[in-house]
Amino acid sequence: MPHTMNDPVPVIRDIDDLYPGDALQFQKGRFDRLKCQFAELYGGKTPQFTTRSPGRVNLIGEHIDYSLYEVIPMAIAADVLIAVSPIPKPANDDEDVKVHVANLNPEKFKAGEFVVPKRGNIEIDSSTLQWTNYFKAGFRGAVELLEKENSEFSPCGMEVLVDGIVPAGGGLSSSAAFVCASALATLRVNGLEWVPKKELVELAIVSERSVGVNSGGMDQAASVFSIRGDATSISFSPELYAEALPFPKTSPPITFMIAQSFVAADKHVAAPENYNLRVVECTLAAEVLAAELGLKLKNDQGPLGTSLRGFQNAYYESEKGNSKDDPGTQVKTMLSLTKEHLGKEGYSREDIASSLSMSVQDLEKKFMAKFPVRADRFYLRQRAQHVFTEALRVQAFKKLLQSPPPDACTTLLPKLGAILNESHASSRDVYVHSCPEIDQMCEIATEAGSYGGRVTGAGWGGCSVHLVPKERIGAVKAAWEEKYYRKREPAITKEKLAEAVVVSEPGHGTMVIDLS
């Protein structure tokens, strides 16, 4: 199904058709609160418009977006709303242009403001984790885009109020939702009424990196491109491409449960030894493989310039690869090359530098300077092995959704579940980005009747996603409550339990909501 990737982000003037039944009342309540609070904070003003971007759950394809392999996430209902009003440019050029950023939950997210510099873009101090940094990241990307189109451009000031209901640090990508909504708000308030989705995604991917995590592009793409009811398949090579992936109708219907572990995935603070380290390991795996085979890697869209997918492309562009190989065979060939050329014991900096014929200083300068990492050994073979097997699992999962087996009702769901379980095993044992709590939650769910489940998002905490037959949802919930949540926190409240587990339908992507 062709995806409307180059279409502009939709502008919605009436939310009645956006949400089903009960959800509509809840959403209307949110808009009323946002409007009231906005007036209270900003001298009686009404927001000019609101931007909205959802979180996402990644169904399959974990930690492979930055190696430029395809992933299959879906948008969830939880989202970030940003109500916006412009502050006209001051008549006097010496006066500062300011942006005020407040949150509906001011205890947790303290209001901030910043002055827009007269020349150049705003600085973001990525050494501290301030929630307003994510707004600044979106703002910065938007201003860069507007400057590219008009070198004389200077942004207006803004008054902004945020209502985010995507749990932070929970693997559901609250950060990308916030960055996308912030960038869209900045573009629109500065006069860009129709924002092409693809441009928004591309700028949000790059600008989120200014917060200090060397991320891939899945979250921003899932947030912006998703269409209600469908999963989204997103590929990155040869260029960013998204496609709606409808779920086949089965009985029982395909239902995903998302469960919080409440282990805070502090990706930010720990990035040098977890997320950013994995990005470096994958890039170095590509570099070492290329060096071993005498291939030259091109600078591609990988966060560090080269990628495992770039290695695959280089291999197949050279006379070494058989150009007739189908996509599955190509990835399987990558797996064999990994086993043949990369050692099991891991690599020191010296080992890698020598195989790339460079000094350790140059290695660090090229791959570990912009986003520093803390590690003595680099497990290139294991990381590449996860990436290639996960890429194969994505292909298999997608094929099952696109052409379900004739006896879909009985075989499709167990098959999808088995792929999720294999993915989890690889995350746990090979890529090492799960945690014991999530491993345990996966076991509990399987015992209670789930078809399969896995850690989702960056991991090291956060959430898991499970494919569960509709009639087993209650049983799985009860099992987690008894065997996980109450054991971990005996006094856990009803509210916290209710938030811990959601059955999410695939939700709408990013939009502007203009109720004026």
Binding to Mg ion (CB under 5 A) within 165-224 occurs at 173, 175
218 binds, among Mg ion, ligand NG1, none (CB under 5 to 8 A by kind): ligand NG1
Residue 280 is which amino acid? V
Residue closer to Mg ion by CB (options 62, 422) is: 62
Active site residue 125: no
Point out which span in 35-43, 60-68, 116-124, 247-255 binds ligand NG1 (CB under 6 A).
60-68
Residue 215 binding: pick among Mg ion, ligand NG1, none (C-beta 5-8 Å cut-off by kind): ligand NG1
- Contact yes or no for 499/293 (Cβ under 8 A): no
- Which residue out of 79, 163, 219, 300 is catalytically annotated? 219
436 upstream amide cis, omega within 30 of 0: no
First to last CA, the chain: 34
Token pair listed for 115: 């002055």
Choose the one of Mg ion, ligand NG1, none that binds residue 276, judging by a C-beta under 5 to 8 angstroms depending on kind: none
Strand pairing category for 112-116 and 97-103: antiparallel
Q: How far is the CB of 213 from ligand NG1 (least distance, A)?
A: 4
Distance CA 464, CA 60 (A): 11
* Touching ligand NG1, residues 193-232 (CB under 6 A): 208, 213, 215-216, 218-219
Distance CA 308, CA 330 (A): 12
Q: How big is the CA angle at 111 (ends 107 and 113), to the nearest 5 degrees?
A: 165
The strand pair at 256-260 and 72-87 is best described as: unpaired
Q: C-beta of 258: minimal distance to Mg ion in Å?
A: 15
Half-sphere exposure of residue 15: CA atoms within 13 angstroms, side-chain side = 23
Using CB positions, name the residue nearest to ligand NG1. Answer: 457
Q: Which residues, 154 to 173, sit near Mg ion by CB under 5 A?
A: 173
Is position 65 an interface residue for ligand NG1 (rule: CB under 6 A)? yes
For ligand NG1, the closer CB: 178 or 311: 178
What amino acid occupies position 258?
I
Comparison of 351 and 499: residue with beta carbon closer to ligand NG1:
499
DSSP annotation string for 170-212:
SSS-HHHHHHHHHHHHHHHHTT--S-BHHHHHHHHHHHHGGGT
Rounded to whole angstroms, the Cα distance separating 511 from 53 reads 7
**Site track 152-191 with ligand NG1 (rule: CB under 6 A), x = hit:** -------------------x-x-xx---------------
Residues 250-289 that bind ligand NG1 (CB under 6 A): 267
The whole-angstrom separation of Cα 258 and Cα 420 is 13
Q: Do 52 and 513 meet the contact criterion of CB atoms below 8 Å apart? A: yes
How many residues bind ligand NG1, per CB under 6 A? Answer: 18
In three-state secondary structure terms, 399 is helix
Q: Work out how close the CB of 215 gets to Mg ion at its nearest, in angstroms, rounded to a whole number.
A: 7
Indicate which of Mg ion, ligand NG1, none lies near residue 388 (CB less than 5 to 8 Å, by partner kind): none
Closest-approach residue to Mg ion (CB) = 175
Q: According to the binding rule CB under 5 A, does residue 276 interact with Mg ion?
A: no
Residue 400 interacting entry, from Mg ion, ligand NG1, none, C-beta within 5 to 8 Å by type: none
Cα-flanking dihedrals φ and ψ of residue 291, to 5°?
-65, -45
Which C-beta is closer to ligand NG1: that of 214 or that of 338?
214
Distance of alpha carbon 509 from alpha carbon 177, whole angstroms: 10
Residue 458 sits in the site that holds ligand NG1 (CB under 6 A) = yes
Could you list the residues that contact ligand NG1 (CB under 6 A)?
Answer: 58, 62-63, 65-66, 171, 173, 175-176, 208, 213, 215-216, 218-219, 267, 457-458
Which residues are catalytic, by number?
219
Could you list the residues that contact Mg ion (CB under 5 A)?
Answer: 173, 175
